[in-house]
Structure 1
Amino acid sequence: MCSKCRKRIAVLLGQPEEYNYGRFLKGFLKEAFGRDYDVCVFSMFIKYQHTPARCIGEPSIFGLVSYEKFDAIVVMADTIQTEGVIERIEEDLHQNYQGKVLFVDKDSKYYPSIHINNYIPERAVIDHLIEEHGMTDIAFLTGKAWHPHSQIRLQAYKDALSDHDIEINEDRIFYGDFWYTSGESLVDSLLSSGDKLPEAIACANDYMALGVAKRLTKNGYRIPQDIAVVGCDCNEEGRHAPIPITSASLSYYSLGLNSAKHIDAMMHEEEVGELAFDDELFIGESCGCDGDSIKPVYERRELWDTDLSLNSMFSPLNYMDEDLLAQTSFTGLVSTIFSSIYYINGFDSLTLCLNPSLGEAGAVFEDQIHQVIRCGADSKDRILTDTYFDKKEMLPELYEEREEPAAYYFMPLYYEDMVFGYAAVSYGNQAKVISPEFRAWIRSVSRGIECYRRTDELIGSSSIAKTGVTTDSLTGLPNYRGFLEQSETLLHLMKNNGGYMGALAIDIKDLSKINDTYGRKEGDNAIISTASALEKVFSSKNCLCFRVGNDEMVAIRITSSSDDSEMLAEKDRLMKLIGEVVSDSETIKGIELYYGVECGSPASSEELERLVNVAISKKNEDKANALKLFEKRELTEEEQKEARVVSSVLDDNKLLYHFQPIVEVNSGKIYGYEALMRADVTPYLSPMSILRYAEYYDRLYDVERATFVNVISFMKKNISKLSDGKKIFINSIPGCLLKEIDLKVLETYLADHPDSIVVELTEHSEISDE
């Protein structure tokens, strides 16, 4: 079934890779995929946070869920224990969502719920102590008194004692919080009381049992010889403890399977059938048994690769945090994150999405989301510089064509109470959960963004930093050294976004005249206004603007080709914007610019610097020609205007060619075509005017070069029309010999098409006998 007609379920929870919750998700995904559902998992990192700020930032991921995009919502309510969050989710769903909702492991005021069996596993563990080991003095450490799981497991303990005619001693019942420290505190309390220790301490989960065991052994007690310790939920840590903890597994995998079946039945308005749960007693050594459930299995890796060979997140060669902390530019930050993706692997797709204001909006996701990185199994990993989408879409990939169902995990990028964005990772149609490597990676990314945000804020607010080594104090733009520091980052971006770079160098005309006429302050305002306009035109993340000298600035951006047209279009936008900015000035009535453009595909920072310097050189030529023209007093004001138009025509190569047929007198057949030069400007400029002003500029060579390059380009595109031997006649300017690099273009074409071009000398000037 295609993804456009496939139904979609959202799952809300905390800590998806935790042992039991991971089992739940694997069961849920297996059943959901079998029924052809897509699944989106929105998750916090842990069930509850330890600071008020994190209680705001981490649950923000649930604010991303666009309910209307889902056919059903499943809420693992007991895994979301941040104060007030599950209540807000429940009320929000009740008021704004019309689809089916299922709560898992917690009752709801409005929706049906499904629960794991907490009674049978706990009862099995207590029965084991009584029946297999003959114990009667058993203390019990449960969870929080209000928690349903605590209450049910406590009742299982009491029933086991009662059914074996053992008196229930309330002094042997204790309350904790399901965490390690609860077990440690209980042992401290028992030892300090001076009372006789029980035969066994049974805990309502393995975390507390591990805390009990740790503290007992620290105080010299032997387990199980001096006292037995058992748990309930049978997690990985308990099973692989120094003395494996006897426990009982909770059937979370079955809960996942049953939850998917339940929500499917609700969506189809069907009765929910009887749901089966599989519980299993794990016989370790902490109760006094010989560890019947412990099998001597030598664990093997699934792959030949190791953490070291793969440079994974846990490799000693991982310097991701250090690399991120060193970034002072957004492009550098994104590039470094992109480079770090090889620390994680095994995903089908990975997308990094950011709030454009990077946390300044607080604990919400902005209306427009900036998609900055996308990686996929198609190997088309890339940085996306100008890709934005509506927050309600959550992830554009969700709506792409797919033959198989898939699951996507959404996790927040945040620091304290500031939300930067989120990461979305998919393992395709595999029933997998996120890995510890992914958790570590995404938290490193969050720390890196926060460090960059603080650095950017410091630079933005500190006048000392702004006048520092890499920043121009007047405009706030990077200086030339700042450009050099970011050159490697720009090259990395370029290689992932088309492979071409363009540079526009500009210089303010008559800045000294503005200073002399209006004062230095107005001259500075002209520089600031120009810099501001330049930044607005080149405002995307794949651009860099910097100030080279007094009135000289450069803008760099990634382009789609080596052609100058994109940068020339940006130049036109810049001129228009400067006109709008200056129109409000009471003193300066206009700012004009000298400019130069160069595009290419630099392979190193040295080549990028050379590209920038070529643009600056072209700008300087433009300036020199303008000054030379100004000094030619024989030109009238009208002629100077025409001369400036010719300069623009030559700068932007706006020379066109009309091809006039040359007819044989005898046969009337077309023998060839003469290329007649025209300027693509209005009003019309005659070829002689172009040549005249080009000579004033000392730019006749530019006319010669453009003529040959443009005509040969036309011939290549129309090769079929010239296949019958028709020749092209090109007018050449005497004395303007093509340079070697330009001559190669002509030689290459003539090697494939000999006798196709006839060169005629123009009558612009007399040719010497030489």
Structure 2
Amino acid sequence: MLRGIIPAAWKRNTDVVVISNIYNPEYDDEQLAAENDIYRLIESPDLCGIILVTEAFINPTHRRQISQLMNYRSDIPQIAVGSYFEGFELEHCIPLNTADSDDIADLTEHLITVHGFTEIDLLTGFESYSVSHLRIDGYRSALEKHGIPFDEDRVIFGDFWMPSGEKLAKAYISGERPMPQAVICANDYMAYGILDVFAEQGISVPGDITVVGYEFVRERHMHTPVLTTFQRSREALGRIAAEMLLNKVSSGEFGVLVPPRGKVICGDSCTCGIRPADLNAELSAARTKAFYEFLHLYNQLEQRLTEAHSMRDFCGKFVGSEYLLRNISGAELCLYRNWHNGAADDSMMNCYTLYNESLNGQSRNISRLELSALTERSGAPAVYYCSPLFFGDRPMGFVVTRYEIPETYDHIFRSWMKSVSNALEILRMKNDIKYLMECCNISEYQDTVTGLLNRKGFSHELHILIRKAVKRQPVFCLLLQTAIDRDNLSLKNKTKEIAIQQEISAALQVVAPSFICARLEPNIYAVAGLYTDEDMELLLRERVTALVLNNEKYIDLFGMDSFCISAVCTEYSSSTELMNIAEKELMVQADILRDSHLNTHYRQLISARNRLYSGREAPFTVEAICRQYLISAGHFRKIYKETFGIAYHQDIIRMRMMKMIWLLISTDLDISVIAERCGYDDYGYCLRLFRQFTGHTPNKYRKL
């Protein structure tokens, strides 16, 4: 399609700017979401019109995002080229496409008139896609034209991918479906799936059955026999789209569309046989692709880029690697002014010239949307590809590659872009003074995330404590394990988890300021000190429980049933022995917690308990919960106590007491204010409950 768009635009002395992401996953992927920042370039006032290639957007979320950006640009003409899919809501685009129904009719006509077939199956796409039904319409019209009855049982809905072809082939082989004379696949990938299974099972194509595809995906040489397929006239469609768009710009009228017709590309999966010229062209393209893959595999560009210490040095490392991007005429590295801080909304960019002997490494400042500044250096029309640079969830800018022939990059360009992004991140870290200072302050005994002691540091301090103990005074060790069985977190939630770990670590030092505190593993924390009496151990366990239950972010992400505590206290001859015993006890407690999750009513009731401990709203009454679960109050009270080992009304008191404990040790608030925050209007009643729960008055507890 680009080979049609580009020459048509150049003929009218117009530059072409191609705005595209790189990875384009089918489903939402948080690790790749930043690449879609590139589409904000649609907002550029330098654009005179937009051609949207709809079939390039396979993710419904991306379609909605693009629709919003396109609808914002009502000031310029727009054409949507290709099939229309769910998620697009384009208010100002006119649709343009080849006639899918006519193409499939021509392909069916070939099987009927050239090969004399009357028993023909059709494997089309998703039943919910309109394009799938258009292809059925073309198939049906060709059959009826020749007096062949249309049979719905001969139409099979697939998924436009190889597994549905494999499934159909196995159905033919097993006899689940009768073997027809020929099968038409509504795209080549489904046909490849059929051919691969037939080849494995010894089914002769075209001896036993003829298989044809649609769309002419250039991978025919990778399957046997070489597929007969149908080539849509995408180049002609691209040319027509560009001409109509520029007509609208110059005269105010798009003109009339006459959909271009495609053609059958013969292969060996029907008896027509492949044309030697077609096979040679495809093999030549495959050899070229393999050659560039070889160059990328053994080139040293990525290593050279990581050695750079400045942007000028970085740009200089590209010299001599032009061969990696075939047919390129030039490139610019465009970075957000504060790219190292992820300031994607910055309106200004620093652009660095690449692959230009006289200008290499020179920089200039342009507006983020000033696309004309990127095209002004070329004396003749060219095509410019804008591709996103990002690292993790942080957009850094984009790369602009220029071609002076109707050409585009291939999939190997992804590898080149990944090398550039990774090397820029390394350069950022090298020059980030804050990062360097943080690195210098981290010793071998410190945890890099929280600043607490790590396992090695904890063992070292514990060893010193044991040696200093007077008359072999017992040493206790308390372990806290969080996020039990909560490993499958998204990237966004992993970021939240790190913040929670830092909060818990800070709170741990508030709870146990005179003890040794450490983070042994990502979700295992330790507190150790000299044992004085049993009350001290119980007090510490109580306070650690309170700090977890009062971390709203933790409860939201993991739930209140996702942590456990173990504590051991006796005389040990070494820190290693003490830690081993404590960790074994922690494993026992974690197993007990997991077993509790197997209770019959656990899944039904845990959301209510999490809501109770989330702290954002007043506890629900038993009646309100019973209405939600459609059970009686008596039954609810019974199963709640059986599941959690505590009555619901006692759990409400426990939740409030834990909140009161946390506020007493972490704030200087007046006790009456704390009582009110914990849901008690009766101050005296609150004090009595607290004393029953802890054995101390609030004032005394605060001083412990």
Give the structure-1-normalised TM-score.
Answer: 0.51
Q: Select which of 344, 347, 361 maps to 1:383.
A: 361
Distance 1:100 1:313, change over 3 A: farther
Amino acid at match of 1:248: F
Distance 1:324 1:123, change over 3 A: same
Render the CA deviation track for 1:107-164: whole Å, top value 9, x for unaligned.
Answer: 6433322111212221122222233333333222212233333221121122223333
Q: Select which of 300, 307, 312 maps to 1:319.
A: 300
Unaligned runs of 5+ in 1: 1-23, 470-770
Corresponding position of 1:351: 332
Corresponding position of 2:128: 146
Distance 1:360 1:190, change over 3 A: farther
CA–CA separation in structure 2 for the residues paired with 1:388 and 1:295: 48
Q: Select which of 70, 76, 98 maps to 2:47.
A: 70
Structure 1 position 283 matched with structure 2 position 283: no
Corresponding position of 2:16: 39
- Alpha carbons 1:65, 1:394 under 8 Å: kept: no
Q: Select which of 188, 213, 229 maps to 1:206.
A: 188
Structure 1 position 425 matched with structure 2 position 401: yes
- Alpha carbons 2:23, 2:414 under 8 Å: kept: no
CA–CA separation in structure 1 for the residues paired with 2:120 and 2:302: 48
Distance 1:142 1:442, change over 3 A: same
Distance 1:198 1:306, change over 3 A: closer
CA–CA separation in structure 2 for the residues paired with 1:341 and 1:468: 43
Structure 1 position 259 matched with structure 2 position 241: yes
Amino acid at match of 1:176: G
Give the drift of 1:312: 7.8
Amino acid at match of 1:404: A
Partner of 2:37: helix, strand, or coil? helix
Corresponding position of 1:219: 201
Corresponding position of 2:686: none
- Alpha carbons 2:112, 2:118 under 8 Å: kept: yes
Structure 1 position 91 matched with structure 2 position 91: no
CA–CA separation in structure 1 for the residues paired with 2:61 and 2:279: 46
Q: Which moved more, 1:169-178 or 1:64-73?
A: 169-178
Give the drift of 1:193: 6.5
- Alpha carbons 1:352, 1:373 under 8 Å: kept: yes
Distance 1:321 1:138, change over 3 A: farther
Partner of 1:44: helix, strand, or coil? coil
- Alpha carbons 1:459, 1:465 under 8 Å: kept: no
Amino acid at match of 2:360: R
Partner of 1:65: helix, strand, or coil? helix
Distance 1:219 1:359, change over 3 A: farther
Match runs of 1:154-165 below 5 Å: 154-165=136-147
CA–CA separation in structure 2 for the residues paired with 1:189 and 1:393: 56
- Alpha carbons 1:245, 1:285 under 8 Å: kept: yes
- Alpha carbons 1:313, 1:441 under 8 Å: kept: no
Unaligned runs of 5+ in 2: 85-89, 445-704
Match runs of 1:159-198 below 5 Å: 159-191=141-173, 194-198=176-180
Partner of 1:162: helix, strand, or coil? helix
Amino acid at match of 2:69: D
Render the CA deviation track for 1:218-271: whole Å, top value 9, x for unaligned.
Answer: 233222222221101123213674322111110001101110111122121236
Q: Which moved more, 1:180-189 or 1:198-207?
A: 180-189
Corresponding position of 1:270: 253
Amino acid at match of 1:438: F
- Alpha carbons 1:207, 1:238 under 8 Å: kept: no
Corresponding position of 1:15: none
Match runs of 1:45-56 below 5 Å: 45=22, 48-53=25-30, 56=33
Amino acid at match of 2:227: I
Corresponding position of 1:413: 389
CA–CA separation in structure 2 for the residues paired with 1:359 and 1:391: 16
Corresponding position of 1:532: none
Render the CA deviation track for 1:688-715: whole Å, top value 9, x for unaligned.
Answer: xxxxxxxxxxxxxxxxxxxxxxxxxxxx
Distance 1:139 1:417, change over 3 A: farther
Amino acid at match of 2:342: A
Structure 1 position 29 matched with structure 2 position 6: yes
Amino acid at match of 2:389: L
Match runs of 1:675-754 below 5 Å: none
CA–CA separation in structure 2 for the residues paired with 1:333 and 1:186: 53
Cα RMSD after superposing both structures: 3.7
Give the drift of 1:421: 1.6
Amino acid at match of 1:26: R
Give the drift of 1:326: 6.4
CA–CA separation in structure 2 for the residues paired with 1:253 and 1:231: 19
Partner of 1:27: helix, strand, or coil? helix
Distance 1:172 1:447, change over 3 A: farther
Which one has a larger percent helix, Structure 1 or Structure 2?
2
Distance 1:443 1:222, change over 3 A: farther
- Alpha carbons 2:3, 2:407 under 8 Å: kept: yes
Corresponding position of 2:348: 368
Give the drift of 1:214: 1.2
Distance 1:218 1:272, change over 3 A: same
Q: Which moved more, 1:460-469 or 1:143-152?
A: 460-469
- Alpha carbons 1:325, 1:451 under 8 Å: kept: yes
How many positions carry a matched residue from both structures? 438
Corresponding position of 1:3: none
Amino acid at match of 2:355: C
Partner of 1:392: helix, strand, or coil? coil
Give the drift of 1:189: 4.9
Give the drift of 1:168: 3.2
Match runs of 1:665-676 below 5 Å: none
Give the drift of 1:204: 0.7
CA–CA separation in structure 2 for the residues paired with 1:166 and 1:146: 26
Render the CA deviation track for 1:70-98: whole Å, top value 9, x for unaligned.
Answer: 12122112222322333333333333441
Amino acid at match of 1:285: D
Give the drift of 1:272: 0.7
Amino acid at match of 1:168: F
Distance 1:323 1:466, change over 3 A: farther
Structure 1 position 445 matched with structure 2 position 420: yes
Partner of 1:438: helix, strand, or coil? helix
Structure 1 position 434 matched with structure 2 position 409: yes
Render the CA deviation track for 1:186-205: whole Å, top value 9, x for unaligned.
Answer: 33455567443333221111
Distance 1:176 1:457, change over 3 A: farther
- Alpha carbons 2:231, 2:262 under 8 Å: kept: yes
Which one has a larger percent strand, Structure 1 or Structure 2?
1
Distance 1:413 1:63, change over 3 A: same
Distance 1:273 1:196, change over 3 A: closer
Give the drift of 1:411: 1.0
Distance 1:461 1:69, change over 3 A: same
Give the drift of 1:438: 3.5
Give the drift of 1:347: 1.8
CA–CA separation in structure 2 for the residues paired with 1:335 and 1:172: 61
Partner of 1:113: helix, strand, or coil? strand
Q: Select which of 93, 96, 110 maps to 1:114.
A: 96
Percent of residue pairs bearing the same amino acid type: 22
CA–CA separation in structure 1 for the residues paired with 2:364 and 2:127: 50
